[in-house]
Structure 1
Amino acid sequence: MSRPEPGIVAETFDCVVVGGGPSGSTAARHLASQGRTVLLLDRQGRIKPCGGAIPPRLIRDFDIPDSLICAKANEARMIAPSDRRVHMPIEGGYVGMVNREAFDEWLRARAETAGAQRRTGTFDRIEREADGSALILYRPAGAPKDAPPIAVRARTIIGADGARSNVAAQAVKGADKQRYVFAYHEIIKAPAAGTADFEASRCDVWYQGNLSPDFYAWIFPHGDTASIGVGSMQKGFSLRTAVTALRKVAGLTECETVRTEGAPIPLKPMKRWDNGRDVVLAGDAAGVVAPASGEGIYYAMEGGRLAAEAVEATLATGKAGALTQARKRFMKAHGKVFMVLGIMQHFWYRSDKRRERFVSLCDDPDIQELTWQAYMNKELVKAKPAAHARIFFKDMGHLLGLRPA
C-alpha cells in the first residue's frame, strides 16, 4: 500500500529534508541542532557536475575544515575567442576547491552527528491525510521494484532535491517554468607538472563559442584530479564533443577519466519557494545558482540555512507564512548580485565578439579587485564609488565598441 494501513502509526518528523547535497545537509544539520526531529532523505549515487569552487566566506560561515580542501587556487585565467589569456591573481586569498563526492558525504555525516536521521532512497510523492497533514512516500535504496513505498509523516518539508525538483513540481507553483543551462564535466587524473596547459593552483575559464555558444567551459584543479566541463542552453549542442575538444587543446587527452556527470543548472531563483503551507525549497530546487558564473555551493548552503530557519519559525509559531522568509531574506542579501550577474551573462555571452570584449575587461585592475572582493565576501563592494564609476564607463565603452578589445 502507498500509505500506512489503518491502525499502523507512521513515523512523524518535524521536518523531512529531501536531498542530501550541500543545501539539504546544511538545513538538516541546522534543524537537528535545534532539537527538531529531522529525516534527511538522499538519493543513492547522486553527484552533479560541479567545478567545486568554494569562497572563503563559505569556509568561515559553515566551519569547513582545511582537510576537505583538495586544492587552493590563487588565480583565474580567462581565455578569449582569439585565444588571448588574461590572468586574474587573487591578492591575499584563494578559492578553495572541493571534491563533491567527499564534500557532500562529509556534510551529510555532520548532519547525522547533529541528530538528523539519514536514509538512502528516492522520493516518490507527497500525499495528504484527512486532516491535511503531509505524508512523504519514498522508495528505499535496494528495495524490489514492486515493493510499496515507505510513508512517513512530516510537519514540514524542505525540497532540496536539485534542479527539476520533484518536490517543487508537486508542491510549488511555477516550478514548471524554470529555465536551465545543461552542464557536463569529466573528472580526470591531473597531469604531471609541465606536461599540459594546466596548473594545480589555477582555475581556467574558456569563453569560446566552439566550446560553449552561450555560457563557458572550465578546467578546475582538484588536487590529484581535475574537473573539465562545459555548460550551454543551446539544444543540440554536444557538451561531450566540446569537452573532448577542450581536453585536446589543453593537452589533457591522455589523462585517465575517473568519472563523467551531467545535469541541468537553473538560471535564476524561482519567484516562489514555498507552498504557503508546509513546503519550502532550497538550493538548486529554488534556483539559487549565480548567473554568468554558475556558482552554486555557497548559495545552496546559505539557502539551506535560511530554509531551516524559516521552518523553525513555522514549527515554533504554527504560522506557515514564516516560510516566505527564506526567499525574502536570500534575495535581500544576494538579489542585487544575481541581477548584475544576469545582466552580464545576457550582454557578454551572446557572441564571440562580445566575449572577446568581456575578457578584455577582465584585464582591468579595478575590475579584478572588485570582482575578487565580491566573490570572497559574497556581497557587492560599496566602499569604492570611484572604482565603480570607472568600471561603468569602461564597461559601456566595451559594450558599444568604443574601446579596443
Structure 2
Amino acid sequence: MYDVVVIGGGPSGATAAEDLARSGHKVAMIDREGRIKPCGGAVPPRLIEEFHIPDSQIVARINTARMISPTQRQVDIPIENGYVGMVDREHFDVFLRERAAKAGADRFTGTYLRFERDGETKNLIYRDKESGEERALACKMIIGADGARSKVAKAEVPGGDKIPYVIAYHEIIEAPETDASYSPMRCDVIYDGAISPDFYGWVFPHGKSASVGMGTGLEGVDLKQATADLRVASGLQDCKTIRREGAPIPLRPMDRWDNGTDVVLAGDAAGVVAPSSGEGIYYAMVGGRVAATAASAYLKTGRAKDLQLARKLFMREHKSVFKVLGAMQNAYYRSDERRERFVSLCHDIDVQRLTFEAYMNKRLVKARPMAHLKIGLKNLAHLTRMISSTRV
C-alpha cells in the first residue's frame, strides 16, 4: 500500500516524489521515460539554491539576454550580480528521477490509465511499458504531474479538460564553434510575428548544443517551418540537428488543483507556466513541492480540504508575478507594432534591472517605487502610442 502514487517523472513529479519520500511516506512514481520535453532549459539562481542542483547539471551560464524586435532591433540586457543557468532536459529530468529514487521513491515505467475506487480500496491502474499489461498499485491518493494535457486532470479534477495552451517546438542543434551572431553566454528572444504570431522564438545555448524553437497557440502555423526560418535568420541553418521535440505548454494556472477527495495536480498539469516568458521549470518544481506539502497534510489529518493547500501556497507567493506577466503578454504579443514597442521599452535601464531582479528572485521588486512609477508611465505611453516605438 502506497501513501501516494505520483503520475509523471518530470521536474514537478520527481520533486513531489522526492519530498514525500524524504518525509517518510511510501511513494511510487510512474513515468513513461524516453520522452524529452521541448524546453529552453533556463533555471534561475533561486531554483539552483532551493532545490540543490549540482554544477554538473548546469550546461551553460548566461550573462546576457538579447531581445530582438520585428524590425531586427536588438536590445542586450546584462544579467547583473549572477547568471541564469541552463539545463538540458534530456539529462536533468533523469537526474531528478534518480534522486527521488535514492530518497526512497519506488519507480515504475508506464502510462496512467485510471484511478479505481471500491469503498476503502483504491488502485492506480497503469500500463506497464515493458510487458504492455495493465497493473495496479494500491494507494491512498495520487498526484497528477503528467503534463499540460493531463489525463489525471481530465478524469479527476473539474475544469481539467479546458486548460488553454500553446504548442512549443524546438530543435536541439550542435552549437557553432565560431559565429558572430551566436554567443554561448547569451539567450536570444525573438519577438517577431513572422516566427510566432502570438508568442516568441528563442535561441538558448546549452554548452555544446543549443535549443532553437518557438511557440504558438494558433492553428495553422507551421512550427517546423517557423523554426527553420528562425535558424536561417540566426545563421544556424547549417548546424547539425541532434533531435526535434514538440509539446503543449499551459497558459495559466487552473482555478482548481484537487478533486476534493484524493487527487491533487502539480506542474504543467495544474497550469503553472509563467505567462509572457513561458518559464516552467522553476514553477513546476515549486508546484511539486506544494503538492507534496498538501499530500502530507491530507495523509496526516484525513481532511480532503487540506489538498487545497497546494494551490493556496503556490498562489500566495506567485499570483502577483503571474498577473503582471499575463497582462504584459496580453498587451504586447498581439501585433508586431506592439512587439516593437515592447522591445523599445526594454531599452530602459530600470526595466532591465527590475525584470531580472524579479526573474532571479521570483518576486516583484518593491524597493524602488520611483522606478516602478517611471516604468508604468512609459508603458502607458507606448500602449496609447503617445511615443514612437523608435524612441528609446
Band the TM-score falls in, shorter-chain normalisation: over 0.9
> Would the aligned equivalents of 2:3 and 2:141 in 1 still touch at CA under 8 Å?
yes
In the alignment, does 2:63 pair up with 1:78? no
CA contact (8 A) 2:22 2:103 kept: yes
Out of 309, 334, 337, the residue aligned to residue 318 of structure 2 is: 334
Paired residue for 2:171, among 186, 201, 219?
186
Q: Give runs of ≥4 in structure 1 deviating > 4 Å.
A: none
- Within 2, Cα distance between the matches of 1:31 and 1:248? 46
Q: Deviations over 1:328-376 (max 9, x none)?
A: 1111100010011111001100000000000001111000000000000
Task: Measure the CA separation in 2 of the matches of 1:103 and 1:138.
Answer: 25
Distance 2:304 2:218 in 1: 39
SS of the residue aligned with 1:120? strand
Aligned pair 1:27/2:16, yes or no?
yes
Q: Does 1:52 align with 2:41?
A: yes
Task: Check if 1:164 corresponds to 2:164.
Answer: no
Choose from 373, 384, 387 the match for 1:400: 384
Tell me, in whole angstroms, the C-alpha distance in 1 between the residues paired with 2:48 and 2:24.
25
Out of 224, 240, 243, the residue aligned to residue 227 of structure 2 is: 243
CA contact (8 A) 2:65 2:78 kept: yes
Q: Distance in 2 between matches of 1:260 and 1:268?
A: 25
Q: CA RMSD in A?
A: 0.8
Residue-pair matches, total: 389
Match for residue 129 of structure 2 among 130, 135, 141? 141
The one of 157, 161, 183 equivalent to 1:199 is 183
TM-score (norm 2): 0.98
Aligned partner of 2:32 in structure 1 is: 43
SS in 1 for 2:161: helix
Q: Answer whether contact 1:44 1:141 (CA < 8 A) is retained.
A: no
Q: 1:48 deviation in Å?
A: 1.0
Alignment map for 1:5-404 (pairs within 5 Å): 12-131=1-120, 133-144=121-132, 147=133, 149-194=134-179, 197-404=181-388
SS in 2 for 1:236: coil
**SS at the partner of 1:230?**
strand
Aligned partners of 2:167, 2:289: CA distance in 1, in Å?
26
**Structure 1 unaligned residues grouped into runs of 5+:** 1-11
Q: Distance in 2 between matches of 1:375 and 1:324?
A: 27
**Per-residue deviation, 1:47:** 1.4
Residue deviations 1:44-87 (CA, integer Å, cap 9, x gap): 21211100000000001000011110000001000001100000
Q: Is the 8 A contact 2:148 2:163 kept in 1?
A: no
Mapped to 2, the partners of 1:264 and 1:112 lie a distance apart of: 27
Hey, what's the Cα distance between the residues in 2 that align with 1:293 and 1:130? 45
Amino acid at match of 1:157: I
C-alpha separation in 1, matches of 2:153 and 2:36: 20
TM-score, length basis structure 1: 0.95
**Counterpart in the other structure of 1:4:** none
Q: Percent identical across equivalent pairs?
A: 59
Letter in 2 for 1:142: E
CA displacement at 1:187 relative to structure 2: 0.3
What residue identity is the alignment partner of 2:172? I
Tell me by how many angstroms 1:101 deviates. Answer: 1.0
1: CA distance, partners of 2:153 / 2:143:
10
